[in-house]
Amino acid sequence: MTPEVDGAHYPVAVIGGGQAGLSVSYCLREREIDHIVIEAHRVGNEWRARRWDTFCLVTPNWQCKLPDYPYQGSDPDGFMNRDEIVQYLEEYVAFFRPPLVEGVKVTRLRRTKAGIFELTTTAGVLTADQVVVATGPYHTTSVPRMAERLPAAMHRIHSSQYRNPGQLPDGGVLVVGTGQSGCQIAEDLHLAGRQVHLSVGSAPRVARFYRGRDCVAWLDDMGHYSRTIDDFDDAASVRMRVNHYVTGRDGGRDIDLRVFARDGMRLYGRLTGARGTVLDFADDLKVNLDRADSVADSIKDSIDAHIAAQGIDAPAEERYVPVWEPTEQPASLDLAKAGITSVVWSTGFSRDHRWIETPVFDGRGYPMHRRGVTNSPGLYFLGLPWQFTWGSGRFESVGRDAEFLADHIEASRRLADVCGTITGAPTTLTAALPVG
């Protein structure tokens, strides 16, 4: 049965029905804690509606580890595509049938004078003793203001709107940004025979395979994915790092921008300005390419050291040799003269928590927390990048974070039986619960 919304009260409300929200729902169910999961769209919407047709994971399927429901397919070393990811989530819902309501958006979250949380939604108002915000970090598209200076006739979309080359008008395409999305979209267009122009940023890259194995498998064996945010002196910057670009397409391979350039793609430095049809670029193309290669090599160095230290019999492999070098670094590009008719902004997303009326955010709007536990008793976050480990915002370890929060919620409820109410003695309650 669909849970009640308007006028209902729940011990726990989970906002968001993606992998994070579903994971904590399963963990709460295992602890027999009554709750509701509120999803603004449909389960899997982020994957279904904001990914292109050839999208696939860049991490191998064996890293998909939702609570009690690891990857179910026959290709653990492969990479699920967009539709398979949606199917995986839908099958997880069928597996444990969470108390889920879809198509309902939470528009306001506040704590009442009585100390409970009030959630205003598009289906009415409900209350909860505790709330888990599992809406992820990718709320609104981020496009630089210079986009406003492009000609009105120029076809412009954000990477989240890109589906396939056929949706764009004939002509060249400029892709701005070389994070995972930008590089993979540029490749998708390139393979379709489109003339691609790519503005290259400072994102690092990683080899797909090295010395006989996927680099992810090596790094997993080395304990890389078990490192916690507490292992870093610069936790704030770690949480904002751009992911390494690589792809799982066609069984997985490197993304080498130099190969693209050798085969006809036009590369530029970081976009710095726009003057009508003329765009300006920084003189940093070579620096950015060299830095990306250097990061890939440093990862190989660490794998070599691990192999040597453990005495592992692994095949030798020659190191990468650049196949293309920029002989010049164009300072500008006239879109009209180059025949460019479309721009794809692969410039990321920003967070939007303005609907949360609780003072738990820092000056950048990032929620202050310790493993998802905020200093506002009963309010939690789940599914944030590097919430605790590298995999916190991914299928790899969002389940472990969900287990931790479910334990915390269960402990707070037991303590509430002693204190009388979850929010009645916040200082004592927060101090008494583990957050490490």
363-402 pLDDT, tens digit per residue, is 888 999 999 999 999 999 999 999 999 999 999 999 999 9
Instruction: Assess if residue 310 is contained within a domain.
Output: yes
How far apart are alpha carbons 126 and 13 in whole angstroms? 9
Q: In the prediction, which pLDDT does 340 show?
A: 98
Q: In the prediction, which pLDDT does 236 show?
A: 85
Residue 427 pLDDT more than 80?
no
| 110 and 239 belong to one structural domain | no
pLDDT single digits (tens) 3-25: 999 999 999 999 999 999 999 99
pLDDT single digits (tens) 246-257: 999 999 999 999
How far apart are alpha carbons 4 and 106 in whole angstroms? 14
Q: Are the beta carbons of 380 and 133 closer than 8 angstroms?
A: yes
Split at pLDDT 50, 70, 90, the class of 137 is confident
Task: Say what percent of the chain tops pLDDT 70.
Answer: 96
| 224 and 294 belong to one structural domain | yes
pLDDT single digits (tens) 349-361: 988 999 999 999 9
Instruction: Assess if residue 3 is contained within a domain.
Output: no
How far apart are alpha carbons 90 and 21 in whole angstroms? 13
Q: Which of 206, 150, 141 is nearest to 174 (CA)?
A: 150
Note down the domain range covering 151.
141-345
Q: Are the beta carbons of 304 and 219 closer than 8 angstroms?
A: no
Mean pLDDT for 28-40 is 98
| 263 and 399 belong to one structural domain | no
pLDDT single digits (tens) 214-235: 999 999 999 999 999 999 999 8
Domain termination site, one of 321, 345, 369: 345
Name the domain count of the chain. 2
Mean pLDDT for 294-315 is 98
The H-or-E segment that residue 262 falls in is helix 257-262
Q: Are the beta carbons of 7 and 125 closer than 8 angstroms?
A: yes
Task: Say what percent of the chain tops pLDDT 90.
Answer: 89
| 111 and 154 belong to one structural domain | no
| 131 and 172 belong to one structural domain | no
Q: Are the beta carbons of 277 and 336 closer than 8 angstroms?
A: yes
DSSP designation for 243: P
Residue 109 pLDDT more than 80?
yes
Residue with more model confidence, 301 or 153: 301
Instruction: Assess if residue 329 is contained within a domain.
Output: yes
Q: In the prediction, which pLDDT does 420 show?
A: 63
Q: In the prediction, which pLDDT does 432 show?
A: 45
Residue 308 pLDDT more than 90?
yes
Q: In the prediction, which pLDDT does 345 show?
A: 98
Split at pLDDT 50, 70, 90, the class of 424 is very low
Split at pLDDT 50, 70, 90, the class of 208 is very high
Q: In the prediction, which pLDDT does 8 show?
A: 98
Q: In the prediction, which pLDDT does 249 show?
A: 97
How far apart are alpha carbons 3 and 332 in whole angstroms? 57
DSSP structure string for 131-189: EEE---S--EE---GGGGGS-TTSEEEEGGG---GGGSPSSEEEEE--SHHHHHHHHHH
The dihedral of CA 327, 328, 333, 337: what is its sign?
negative
| 310 and 226 belong to one structural domain | yes
Q: In the prediction, which pLDDT does 118 show?
A: 98
| 193 and 313 belong to one structural domain | yes
User: Could you tell me the two tokens for 436?
Assistant: 């490490």
The H-or-E segment that residue 273 falls in is strand 271-275
Residue 433 pLDDT more than 60?
no
**Mean of all residue pLDDT scores within the chain:** 94
Torsion of CA 64, 65, 69, 70, to 10 degrees: 60
Query: Cβ neighbours of residue 96 under 8 Å, at least 6 residues apart?
Result: 25, 26, 29, 68, 69
pLDDT single digits (tens) 91-102: 999 999 999 999
Distance of CA 428 to the CA centre of its chain: 35
Residue with more model confidence, 306 or 432: 306
How far apart are alpha carbons 372 and 389 in whole angstroms? 12
Lowest mean pLDDT among 35-39, 269-273, 365-369, 377-381: 365-369
Domain termination site, one of 326, 345, 364: 345
Could you give phi then psi for residue 214, rounded to 5 degrees? -60, 135
Mean pLDDT for 286-311 is 98
Q: In the prediction, which pLDDT does 126 show?
A: 98
Instruction: Assess if residue 399 is contained within a domain.
Output: yes
| 72 and 181 belong to one structural domain | no
| 129 and 159 belong to one structural domain | no
Instruction: Assess if residue 1 is contained within a domain.
Output: no
Instruction: Assess if residue 4 is contained within a domain.
Output: no
Q: In the prediction, which pLDDT does 364 show?
A: 86
The burial class, CB within 10 Å (0-12 / 13-18 / 19+), for 96 is middle
| 321 and 195 belong to one structural domain | yes
Q: In the prediction, which pLDDT does 329 show?
A: 87
Mean pLDDT for 168-173 is 98
| 301 and 402 belong to one structural domain | no
Q: In the prediction, which pLDDT does 280 show?
A: 97
Domain termination site, one of 345, 371, 406: 345
Q: In the prediction, which pLDDT does 428 show?
A: 37
Instruction: Assess if residue 46 is contained within a domain.
Output: yes
Split at pLDDT 50, 70, 90, the class of 54 is very high
Instruction: Assess if residue 87 is contained within a domain.
Output: yes
Residue 307: CATH number of its domain: 3.50.50.60
Residue 423 pLDDT more than 90?
no
Q: In the prediction, which pLDDT does 421 show?
A: 53
Residue 153: how many other CB atoms lie within 10 Å: 9
Q: Which of 112, 195, 198 is nearest to 159 (CA)?
A: 198
| 189 and 332 belong to one structural domain | yes
